[in-house]
Chain A
Amino acid sequence: MTTQEALFKYTLRLGDNGLIQGQRLSEWCSRGPILEEDLAITNLALDNIGRAQAFLKYAGEVEGKQKTEDDLAFKRGEREFYNLLMTELPIGDFAYTVAKQVLISAYEYFLYTELSNSTDEIIAGISQKAIKEVRYHLAHAKDWSERLGNGTEESKARLQKAYDELWSYTGEFFETTEEEKVLAPSKVAATTKNFEAKWNDMINEIFTISSITPPTAGWMQSGSQNGIHTEHLGHLLSEMQYLQRAYPDAKW
């Protein structure tokens, strides 16, 4: 894999994580448990989509085939997306969304902290902005995790179930991808193994304050780094890409 190919795939993945997360979070619009939270979740979605736009635009430049961020978002197929599997899972109930947000935001907190010092200027710039957003996402999710875990019997049960079900999708966070092997030595990319322990510590702290029993470790889901996704992604893309695919000559 050349450096250019690695950088293209690396930035695609960063963009795709934002895009698919944003797409899922925006499903909460007009469905939130209270109006204030509807607006809060929409803000999270907007942050993610904005970040996706920035990374996909850069990815297009790196690839060098004149593709815009929209070309990349709306015209790639299921096997060309590199978002982490967890991001494409359905939103589930509010506990599921909160648990997902805790796990991913904690990961992104450490990822973007490291990428803020990337030797690639563009990645560093986007990451410096992202880290401010992610800190808020993490605070918001962590506070809700604490409330639900210590709220009622029902909220605690739902939250525990959510963490238990999502746990097998966390292994992927710390797989060393081919792109990382190429780009990490020059510190363009982050070395995810560097913060795996810190992430575990943070998650365990959140489990403790949420009165949650840490899920038992077991087999981990995998595949997104090779574009092998869950069955959910295809449906998500059908909906997201519909207008561009139905009207290929149209400019929107």
Chain B
Amino acid sequence: MSTAVDLHTSFQEKIDKDLKIEPKDAMPEDYRKHLIRQISQHAHSEVIGMQPEGNWISRAPSLRAKQILLAKIQDEGGHGLYLYSACETLGISREELIDQLQTGAAKYSNIFNYPAVTWADMGAIGWLVDGAAIVNQVSLQRTSYGPYARAMVRICKEESFHQRQGYEIMANMMKGTKEQREMAQDAMNRWWWPSLMMFGPHDGDSPRSGNAFTWKIKRQSNDILRQRFIDKTVQQAEVIGLTIPDKDLKWNEEKQSYDHGEINWDEFKRVINGDGPCNKQRMDHHIKYHNEGKWVREAALAFQQKQAK
């Protein structure tokens, strides 16, 4: 029989050898808790993210655009499902996870607390928000927890169409009428900084960094990922004629990357703690439709129980 010390040693050994930790493996309680929090918040983000984009399905300006947007949002829901599945392997139910979201015990990505006010926002969200998510998710494909890593591989395969969809919308509008170009630039102006905030605080200011790296849950730092996103996106913006709304943005020849202006961390803290444009609306929507669906779930269960007799 293995002792407690043996099992924990073998856990860290696995981590150090870049082997995956699987659901039935012994793991420190803090590792489990950290993962539950991180994976579930990732899942909640996907689900809440269906709302700002869902806002424009009925008004998509072409049949092709409507289908593409629907397929994209469907993928987001699917990603939420893969992530809830991965999280449930850690010994928590989806009912509990939903409860945590609705009571505010669990958070979701701050970016979705901003409103999608014009069609161009569909372009900005796909290109910038999904673009930022891709940088983060590619890195997470090597995370130590097996089910999470496998979910990430699946998600990454599907995510690049999302970014292309957004970029195509922006590119198309920038080739269009004056009003379309203004709409695109306006969306850029509103979504750029929140997208940078998606990578989280500077690593020095991030409370849980230490363990996240020791346990290889996190593979690369927030700042490194953020810089990677900026460097590839600036070029994409230039190609289609969009201006990055940062007067301090400058190419640094020595570092071979872009220096950029300081992020407004006060805004980030304010929004993530509840005072953002859409926080209440997103939660009210989630709670409302969850409650309205209760009778359906009860009916499905009742039918199942009758079949079992």
Q: Which of A27-35, A103-111, A190-198, A219-227 sits within the interface?
A: A27-35
Identify which of residues 18-76 in chain A touch chain B, using a CB-to-CB cut-off of 8 Å.
Answer: 19, 22-23, 26-27, 29-39, 42-43, 45-46, 49-50, 52-53, 56, 69-70, 73-74
Q: Is A242 an interface residue (CB 8 A)?
A: yes
Beta-carbon contact of B292 and A42 below 8 Å = no
Q: Which of B28-36, B47-55, B140-148, B268-276 sits within the interface?
A: B47-55
A38-B77 CB under 8 A given contacts A30-B285, A31-B289: yes
A151-B298 CB under 8 A given contacts A30-B50, A50-B67, A240-B59: yes
Beta-carbon contact of A33 and B297 below 8 Å = yes
Chain A residues closer than 8 Å to B66, beta-carbon distance: 22, 26, 49
Beta-carbon contact of A29 and B293 below 8 Å = no
Q: How far is the CB of A47 from chain B (nearest CB, A)?
A: 10
Beta-carbon contact of A151 and B302 below 8 Å = yes
Q: Which of B102-110, B130-138, B172-180 sits within the interface?
A: B172-180
Chain B residues closer than 8 Å to A73, beta-carbon distance: 63
Q: B54 is contacted by which of A23, A30, A56, A240 (Cβ under 8 Å)? A: A30
Q: Which of B9-17, B68-76, B226-234, B241-249 sits within the interface?
A: B68-76
Identify which of residues 110-140 in chain B touch chain A, using a CB-to-CB cut-off of 8 Å.
Answer: 119
| C-alpha gap A252/B71 in the complex (Å) | 18
| C-alpha gap A70/B228 in the complex (Å) | 39
Q: A148 is contacted by which of B47, B71, B299, B301 (Cβ under 8 Å)? A: B299
* 0/1 interface trace, chain A 104-122, chain B, CB 8 Å (1 if under): 0000000000000000000
Q: Is B1 an interface residue (CB 8 A)?
A: no
Chain A residues closer than 8 Å to B73, beta-carbon distance: 29-30, 42
Q: Is A139 an interface residue (CB 8 A)?
A: no
Identify which of residues 171-215 in chain B touch chain A, using a CB-to-CB cut-off of 8 Å.
Answer: 172, 176-177, 179-180
| C-alpha gap A45/B289 in the complex (Å) | 19
Q: B303 is contacted by which of A52, A151, A250 (Cβ under 8 Å)? A: A151
Identify which of residues 24-62 in chain B touch chain A, using a CB-to-CB cut-off of 8 Å.
Answer: 47, 50-51, 54, 57-62
Beta-carbon contact of A23 and B297 below 8 Å = no
Chain A residues closer than 8 Å to B63, beta-carbon distance: 19, 49, 52-53, 56, 69-70, 73
Identify whether the interface residues of A are mostly helix, strand, loop, or mixed.
Answer: helix
Q: Is B308 an interface residue (CB 8 A)?
A: no
Q: Is A146 an interface residue (CB 8 A)?
A: yes
Beta-carbon contact of B306 and A94 below 8 Å = no
Q: A250 is contacted by which of B67, B177, B293 (Cβ under 8 Å)? A: B177
Chain B residues closer than 8 Å to A252, beta-carbon distance: 61-62, 65, 119, 172
Chain B residues closer than 8 Å to A74, beta-carbon distance: 61-62
* 0/1 interface trace, chain A 241-252, chain B, CB 8 Å (1 if under): 011100101111
Beta-carbon contact of A250 and B179 below 8 Å = yes
Q: Is B78 an interface residue (CB 8 A)?
A: yes
A93-B47 CB under 8 A given contacts A151-B303, A152-B298, A152-B299: no
Beta-carbon contact of A34 and B296 below 8 Å = yes
Q: Is B80 an interface residue (CB 8 A)?
A: yes
Question: Which of B81, B176, B180, B303 gathers most chain A CB within 10 Å?
Answer: B303
Interface residues of chain B, those whose CB is within 8 Å of chain A, are 47, 50-51, 54, 57-67, 70-71, 73-74, 77-78, 80-81, 84, 119, 172, 176-177, 179-180, 285, 289, 292-303, 306
Q: Considering the complex of A and B, which 5 residue pairs feature the smallest CB-CB distances, nearest first?
A: A151-B299, A33-B293, A155-B299, A252-B61, A33-B296
Given A31-B292, A35-B84, A250-B179, 8 more A-B residue pairs with CB atoms under 8 Å apart are A26-B70, A39-B77, A39-B78, A39-B81, A42-B70, A45-B70, A53-B63, A252-B62
